[in-house]
Amino acid sequence: MIVGVPKESFPGERRVALVPAVIPNLVKSGLEVVVEAGAGVEAGYPDAEYTAKGAKILPERAEVFRAADLVVQVLCHGSNDKTGEADLPLLRSGQVLIGFLRPLGTLKTIQEIVARGVTSFSVELMPRSTRAQSMDALSSMGTICGYKAVVIAADTLPRIFPMLTTAAGTIAPGRVLVIGAGVAGLQAIATARRLGAVASAYDLRPAAKEQVQSLGGRFVELPLEAKDAEDAGGYAKAQDESFYRRQRELLARVVAESDVVVTAAVVPGKKSPVLVTREMVAGMAPGSVMAAERGGNCESTRPGEKVVEHGVTIIGWFNLASTVPYHASQMYARNISAFLLHLVKEGRLQLNFEDDIVRETLLTHAGEVVNARVREFFSLPALETQSKGGVR
């Protein structure tokens, strides 16, 4: 089977789905790899490195899609809402597509992939299990984003992070609050600590407390109990507005005492809850920084922009993983190559529906949206075979 790696087309995207280092293992397993010319250049991987590792360079994007049995991308149609649609005519029936597809975004984009007869796997749906850990691209990119959010905040803050004892006196350490202690949030805590700040974190999931403390952070406990705080996959569940209103009231004091607030609280498939209001921003000291790893928790955030309100700098940049494309691509490529080696055996795609990794990531197949979680999310009737415990 031939694996195709087209150049990412989303504006400003610098990552690449496979890096040269993973090519030999794929070739050894019987796969061929074709790469669009220049696909890895912006990430720091020139064409010559791909050919040296056994890949073939093709000059045109259409040639890559035409040659490939499996197409691997970072941002596929669905997650690429700017230029992804242009790839639809290049896809063909029976072809396999793997990457970020935003399966809980809009049903229209999924149905467009279905209409092309494509078998697609959404890496966002990878189960959080030990078996799937090496394939968990969402966690890998979350790690990068959490790190970069704190680095950007530290660069923006008109103070320094670490405590310093100098001839000019002692400088107090910076105070960083992380809201949302998932993968990105935990990496933000670790990065803030490495830079010398005092880090605190809040998460509505009680299980997060031990993880925060293990990184040297202080867990902010509020006299507030969430109902069904997390789902079976370990993700936070949405709460009602009365809960969020009380949460904001209790968080206001903690936010006001912080030099930097990193908001990383997300609910899969839902709009990120507003946890920091404009009034809370106004209560922060001038020069403070609000950094949004995914954009949605602060009422004042403007996606893709950096604004100043009440002397507080609010950074709403997104796609932070693309700002460090070399290592982001390296991590993503390791996840995707592990997934490919799991799916392809003896030169053939093996769709073992008893395998939870296959079953939970498979989004479209044989002209249907086959993922049970996605069908339920969009209120689609369960497929007959799903009601009997599987997909065929």
**Beta partners for 313?**
289, 308
Task: Report whether 271 contacts 219 (CB < 8 A).
Answer: no
Task: Report whether 186 contacts 269 (CB < 8 A).
Answer: no
Q: Catalytic amino acids?
A: 128, 133, 136, 139, 235
Residue 60, Cβ density class (10 Å: 0-12 exposed, 13-18 middle, ≥19 buried):
exposed
**Beta partners for 289?**
260, 313
β-strand pairing of 70-75 with 56-58: unpaired
Rounded to whole angstroms, the Cα distance separating 244 from 325 reads 35
Residue 16, Cβ density class (10 Å: 0-12 exposed, 13-18 middle, ≥19 buried):
buried
SS3 140: helix
- Measured CA distances, 201 to 180, 218, 220 (Å): 7, 6, 6
**What are the φ and ψ backbone dihedral angles of 28, each rounded to 5 degrees?**
-60, -30
Rounded to whole angstroms, the Cα distance separating 68 from 34 reads 7
**What are the φ and ψ backbone dihedral angles of 96, each rounded to 5 degrees?**
-110, 135
